[in-house]
Each structure stands twice: as C-alpha cells, then as structure tokens.
Amino acid sequence: MVKRTSTRFIARMIEGAKPSEMPGFIPPQLATLKLRAPAGDKWIHEIKFDGYRIQVHLYKGKVKIFTRNGHDWANRFHLLAESFDIPVERAIFDGAVVVIKDGRANFSELWLHSPAANRGAWCSSLRPSLP
C-alpha cells in the first residue's frame, strides 16, 4: 500500500480552500441529444466512449465504484477497484469503462465481458473531480 497524502494538509496550502466532508454519490450530468453540436470558441468537445458510465470514489484507502444510477459496483469491477491504490486520501473520478477492440470502443464486447463474468480486458477513461 502506498503512503497517502492528507487532503486537509493540501487544502491548507491553497489560498481560499476549505476542507469539506467527502460527498456520497453525485448524480452525473448526462448528455442531451441534439441535431448538431454547438459551434464557437466557447465550446469544448470530446469523444464519447461507448461504455459504462462510472464514478470512482477514493476515501481513506477504500474504493467505491458507482454506476450512473448510484449502485456501488466495486465488487463487480474488483480489478479496476484494485488499480486505484494511489497516494491520496480522497478523490472522485468520473468517466467510462470501455472495452477496446480493433482500436475502437466496443459496447458489445463490454457486455459480453461484463464484470460479473470476471473476464475481458478493461480500459477506463476517467477524469478527476475535486470533492
């Protein structure tokens, strides 16, 4: 196990930062279907991976992996949960779990190699969020 850095210690080093309690599940903002993407310099676009939307919560060495509906699937995604032994006291990552086949995300393969089946190659696209 790696040595964890106290989030409260780090917060004291950032001007104006205030320590807070670790939140529980945060309902994700989901995409809205539109006829075309917005244009202009104020928009940033990203590729949407075809996979399971998840939220990983790290808190004092424990890992929870929430589905977009708030179910904890850490035991189903145990290999992914085990990979989050990182040196932080708490963090939240929001992203997608996908299976890559022939260089592309493949939802059929993800479904076939579901965590319940305990097989398959898992890849994740996760962005950190600040709790």
User: What's the pTM?
Assistant: 0.69
- Beta-strand relationship, 52-59 and 62-67: antiparallel
Amino acid making up residue 70: G
Q: Decide: 10 and 131 in contact? Cβ < 8 Å.
A: no
Q: Are 60 and 85 in contact (CB under 8 A)?
A: no
Domains of the chain by residue range: 1-15+48-131
User: Active-site residue 48, yes or no?
Assistant: yes
**pLDDT tens, position by position, 21-75:** 888 999 988 878 889 888 899 988 777 788 888 999 999 889 999 999 999 999 8
pLDDT digits (tens, 9 = 90+) for 64-106: 999 999 999 998 888 889 988 888 888 999 988 888 888 888 8
List the catalytic residue out of 34, 42, 48, 101: 48
Superfamily classification of domain 1-15+48-131: DNA ligase/mRNA capping enzyme (3.30.470.30)
Query: Exposed, middle or buried by CB within 10 Å (0-12, 13-18, 19+), for 129?
Result: middle
